[in-house]
Amino acid sequence: MNKPKKNELRILRQGLDQNTNIYRLIHGSADRWKGLYVDRLGDYLLIQSAQSLTENQKEETQELQHKLKLKGIYFKKLNRQIQKTSIKESTPQLIFGIKAPEFFEALELKVHYKLSFKQGYSTGLFLDMRDNRQRLLTNQIEPGFSIFDRSIGIPSVLNTFSYTCSLSLCAAKTGATTTSIDLSKKYLDWGKENFKLNNLNPKDHNFIYGDTFDWMKRLKKKGILYDLVIIDPPTFSRSKTSGLFQTKKHYEMLANAASNLVIKNGILLACCNTSTFSLSNFKSNVRYGVFKGGRKIIQSFHSTQPLDFPTSQEEPAYLKAYWLRLN
């Protein structure tokens, strides 16, 4: 990591960035704390580990709480097999400080988010996607590679597997009209609350409760196209309509369906956090899916993990985000 990047990370982790109070403080072995992951979420810390905390770990995290002037610390027993984890087991427990309300507000890149420790495995925002949210907010993937051509009108975005709609929100903040699809009505309603937190009217956008594959077929049949289509599926999912989805088996099919909904010179953002799905295989699956749809890739960029999610031999990269401009 070069000196400017190190300084940027220092500012973030020391709580000196006034626009962001959601980030990772300790990322396992890459930060010399094997098996320990610590996130700042607004006024609280969330610690995740497969093991019970040692006395040294408790002291270190309490020191972080004191330095950052935070209200409380929560702990969650880490279980990589999410499908086998009950809601009770996956819910973080308060171990130090003041209990958080059921929902609380936090800030990332000047955007407000509603978070919670009481809604199951995730708190409402995937922290490792911050750089991609920033790309949406700035309309720039990298120098010379913009997302939207605003000279031709208001851009449209389709965000599938949208969870609490953070990517939709960032696109909407810049004036885009968004359509978010998810199998959970609860998370779509949560997304609407995020829009309201940022003075955006959810009624100006579309929130679709349903199966992504089913709705992709419907949208294709209607001839509806988007300037940006986002696919960010879970490693495993199951629906009554499409059955079992597994990223390593079905991503090519998903990329193919998504590419059919991208306008000429539009963008496809393909994401995956399956650690056992190698970057080369992931990119190959995406490209094959696009080519099978009769599309060509005219520009591409692979996004790495943000600075606060460093990598090492013991803590390899897992997040894959592939931006593609299609002809």
- Same domain for 137 and 85: no
Query: What is the C-alpha to C-alpha distance for residues 178 and 170, in angstroms, rounded to an integer?
Result: 10
pLDDT at residue 204 greater than cutoff 90? yes
In this prediction, residues 241-257 reach a mean pLDDT of: 85
Q: What kind and span of H or E run contains 140?
A: strand 140-142
Is 197 domain-assigned? yes
Two structure tokens written together for 319: 């997040």
Is 123 domain-assigned? no
- Same domain for 314 and 280: yes
Query: What is the C-alpha to C-alpha distance for residues 48 and 52, in angstroms, rounded to an integer?
Result: 9
| 8-state DSSP, 309 | S
pLDDT band at 86 (very low <50, low <70, confident <90, very high): low
pLDDT at residue 102 greater than cutoff 60? yes
In this prediction, residues 178-186 reach a mean pLDDT of: 97
Which residue is associated with the tokens 């079905």? 250
Which domain-ending residue is among 85, 115, 145? 115
- Same domain for 109 and 37: yes
- Same domain for 156 and 15: no
pLDDT of residue 61: 96
pLDDT of residue 245: 73
Two structure tokens written together for 148: 């939207």
In this prediction, residues 14-28 reach a mean pLDDT of: 98
Is 235 domain-assigned? yes
pLDDT of residue 246: 79
pLDDT of residue 2: 86
CA dihedral for 12, 13, 15, 20, sign (positive or negative): positive
pLDDT band at 84 (very low <50, low <70, confident <90, very high): low
Domain that holds residue 230: 128-326
Query: What is the C-alpha to C-alpha distance for residues 153 and 157, in angstroms, rounded to an integer?
Result: 13
pLDDT digits (tens, 9 = 90+) for 111-157: 999 999 998 778 999 999 999 999 999 999 999 999 999 888 999 99
Is 186 domain-assigned? yes
What crossing angle do the helices spanning 166-173 and 130-138 adopt, rounded to 10°?
20
- Same domain for 102 and 217: no
Query: What is the C-alpha to C-alpha distance for residues 232 and 158, in angstroms, rounded to an integer?
Result: 11
Which domain-ending residue is among 115, 137, 171? 115
Taking each continuous run of H as one helix and of E as one strand, the counts in the chain are 9, 18
Domain count, the chain: 2
pLDDT of residue 168: 98
Secondary structure (DSSP) of 53-111: PPHHHHHHHHHHHHHHT-SEEEEEE--S-GGG--HHHHS-EEEEEPPPPSSEEEEETTE
* Mean per-residue pLDDT over the chain, rounded: 94
Which domain-ending residue is among 115, 140, 160? 115
**Percentage of the chain modeled with pLDDT above 90:** 87
- Same domain for 180 and 103: no
- Same domain for 311 and 202: yes
Task: Collect all residues with Cβ–Cβ distance below 8 Å to 233 and sequence separation of at least 6.
Answer: 160, 161, 212, 245, 247, 251, 254, 272
In this prediction, residues 228-255 reach a mean pLDDT of: 82
- Same domain for 95 and 169: no
Q: What is the CATH number of the domain that holds 264?
A: 3.40.50.150
Query: What is the C-alpha to C-alpha distance for residues 215 and 203, in angstroms, rounded to an integer?
Result: 20
pLDDT at residue 44 greater than cutoff 80? yes
In this prediction, residues 9-28 reach a mean pLDDT of: 98
Is 122 domain-assigned? no
Contact 173, 179 (CB under 8 A): no
Q: What is the CATH number of the domain that holds 35?
A: 3.30.750.80
Query: What is the C-alpha to C-alpha distance for residues 312 and 187, in angstroms, rounded to an integer?
Result: 33
Is 188 domain-assigned? yes
Name the β-bridge partners of 178: 157
pLDDT of residue 80: 65
- Same domain for 90 and 132: no
Task: Collect all residues with Cβ–Cβ distance below 8 Å to 138 and sequence separation of at least 6.
Answer: none
- Same domain for 80 and 137: no
- Same domain for 315 and 254: yes
Which of residues 62 and 249 earns the better pLDDT score? 62
- Same domain for 82 and 26: yes
Contact 207, 188 (CB under 8 A): yes
Is 120 domain-assigned? no
- pTM for the full model? 0.94
pLDDT of residue 97: 97
**Residue environment code for 12-51, b if the CB has 16+ CB neighbours within 10 A, otherwise e:** bbebeeeebbbbbbbbbbbbebeebbbbbbbbbbbbbbee
